[in-house]
Chain A
Amino acid sequence: MNKTLTCVICPNGCQLTVDYEGVTIQSVEGALCSKGNQYAEQEILDPKRNIASSVRVTGGKAPLVSVRLTGPIPKKKIFDVMAEIRALSVAAPVEIGQVLIADVSGLGQDVIATKRIDRI
Chain B
Amino acid sequence: MMNKQTALQKRYDVLIIGSGVVGSALARELSRYQLNVAVLEKELDVCTETSGRNSGVIHAGFNNKPGSLMAKFCVEGCLGYGVVADEIDIPFSRTGKLVVGFDDEDRKKLQALKEAGEQNGVPGLEIVESDVIRDKAPAILGEMALYSPMTGITNPFLYTVALAENAVQNGVSLWLNHEVTAIEQVDDGYQVQTTQGVFESRWVINCAGLFADRVARMVGIDDYTIYPCRGEYLVLDKELGSQLPLPAYPVPNIREGGLGIHLTPTTDGNILVGPSTDYIDEHTDYGTTRSILDLLMREGRKIFPPLNPSAVIRTFAGVRPKLVSRTTGGYADFVIEHRPETRHFINMVGLESPGLTAAVPIARNVISIIGEYEDLRENPSFNPCREGILSFKDQTPERQESLIHENPDYGVVVCRCEGITQAEILAAIRNPLGVTTLSGIKNRSRAMMGRCQGGYCQIRIAELIMAEQNRSEESVMLARKGSRTFVGKVRPS
Contacts and interface: CB of A to CB of B under 8 A. Distances in A.
Tell whether A and B belong to one assembly: yes
A54 interface: yes
Nearest to A86: B491
B396 interface: no
Interface residues of B, number: 3
B184 to A, nearest CB: 51
Interface residues of A, number: 8
Interface in A17-60: 54-56, 58
Interface in B455-493: 490-491, 493
Nearest to B489: A63
A2 B490 CA distance: 41
A86 B491 CA distance: 7
A89 B493 CA distance: 9
Contacts of A104: none
Contacts of B490: 54, 64
A97 B490 CA distance: 22
A56 B490 CA distance: 9
Contacts of A54: 490-491
Contacts of A86: 491
B459 to A, nearest CB: 13
A54 B493 CA distance: 13
A77 to B, nearest CB: 21
Nearest to A88: B491
Interface string A76-99: 000000000010010000000000
Nearest to B491: A56
B393 to A, nearest CB: 30
A35 to B, nearest CB: 33
A66 to B, nearest CB: 12
A56 to B, nearest CB: 4
Contacts of B493: 56, 58, 89
12 contacts: A54-B490, A54-B491, A55-B491, A56-B491, A56-B493, A58-B493, A63-B491, A64-B490, A64-B491, A86-B491, A89-B491, A89-B493
Interface of B: 490-491, 493
In order of increasing CB-CB distance, the 4 nearest A-B pairs are A56-B491, A64-B491, A54-B490, A54-B491
